[in-house]
Amino acid sequence: MPTYESLHLLRVLDSPQVLAKSFIGYCKRHHIITRGLCRIGYARRSPLSTAHSSPQDCLLRGLIANKDIAQNENIVMMPVTACLHPGVALRCKPFWDLLPPGAQATLQDATVAYNTRISDRSLIRHNQYLMALYMVYLMLLRNCDPARLATTPGGDVIDYIDFMPRNEGNFEQLVAHLSGWLDGPEVCRTSQAALSNHFQLTQAEVRPAIVYALCMIYSRMVPVDHRACLQYAFQSTPLAHAWDDVAATAALAALPSGTASAAGAEAGAVGGHGGGERGVNMSLVQEPISFLCPVIDMCNHSTNENVAVMVPDREPTLSGPVICLRSLRPIAKGEELVMTYGAAPHALKLIWGMQDILQ
């Protein structure tokens, strides 16, 4: 997104080396573990043969195996507290208090946990929009009031946000779609006005930052559908009990024990594996919530996936359930770690900015 580089609210003046060092510091503080199994690097991939593709190979930033990795190995592990998700936004009182009452009522309604949309046929979900607003709030604090950012609970996640690219990806179709839906719904109009007024900026300055945050969410999100993980992430918020009714929210399609779910759970399926009613997986919920998971979000798409995101069914740590990136087969040193984004080609082009889907 080269156009964003000229927008001062998104500009980060630190060098790439400083940003990388700050991001590594964030990972260490929040106990993100890779055990040296992978690194962020560049993989050479070839675009599909289309009228718009170049015959030259492309270098794409992603996760690379540092050594040979066995099947069913946990490559990246992190507690829920290391992730950026809507529950963090709901618990940030300074951010929440600046939103108008109408927007608060909409964004904390229980239906938000079930992936309601800001408007019919809109791509944007309420919980994704809430997370985008929170990301922009932190970026504006960084630019306008850095002293307050330092004292904001959870404000160090700015080290993760700043590490996100400002000039990678082709999101033209997505930007056009998002911009069209940020004017109509009242929750969008009033919340954007509140952010602008709070920081004494124009909405024309704030809007591109919101669009950028949504693009990062759509291009990097991990859809989490593990019940215990969501309950922990949203504790002490109005949505804390949104998934307590197991019968109403359980995933209908059960997975055999040990099967990888792209949304993220290793759970004994009901009906001979985990107890309960046949055909229902009590550990999973029907509607996954978008999380941003550092390091894991660097995985690129491929239909020939070799890793998947999972939340093991085990006792949580002091920092909550653990989210893992697990190998689905043996992976050789130097091989790129890839997962399937689970969408049709036209959706990949729109949501993940892939004008030419790389294989």
**Tens digit of each residue's pLDDT (9 = 90 or more) over 236-277:** 999 999 999 888 888 775 444 444 443 443 433 323 333 444
**Tens digit of each residue's pLDDT (9 = 90 or more) over 167-197:** 666 677 778 778 778 888 999 999 999 999 9
Hey, where are the domains in the chain? 1-18+91-220
pTM above the 0.95 mark? no
Distance CA 351, CA 172 (A): 10
**Tens digit of each residue's pLDDT (9 = 90 or more) over 118-138:** 988 888 999 999 999 999 999
Structure confidence at residue 42 (pLDDT): 83
**Tens digit of each residue's pLDDT (9 = 90 or more) over 291-326:** 999 999 999 888 889 999 998 877 656 667 999 999
Indicate the range of 11-15, 87-91, 317-321 predicted with least confidence.
Answer: 317-321
Average pLDDT over residues 88-99: 96
What kind and span of H or E run contains 224? strand 222-226
User: Which stretches of the chain are DSSP H helices?
Assistant: 16-29, 86-91, 93-98, 101-107, 126-144, 146-151, 158-163, 172-181, 186-198, 203-220, 227-233, 246-249, 345-351
Q: Is the pLDDT of residue 4 over 60?
A: no
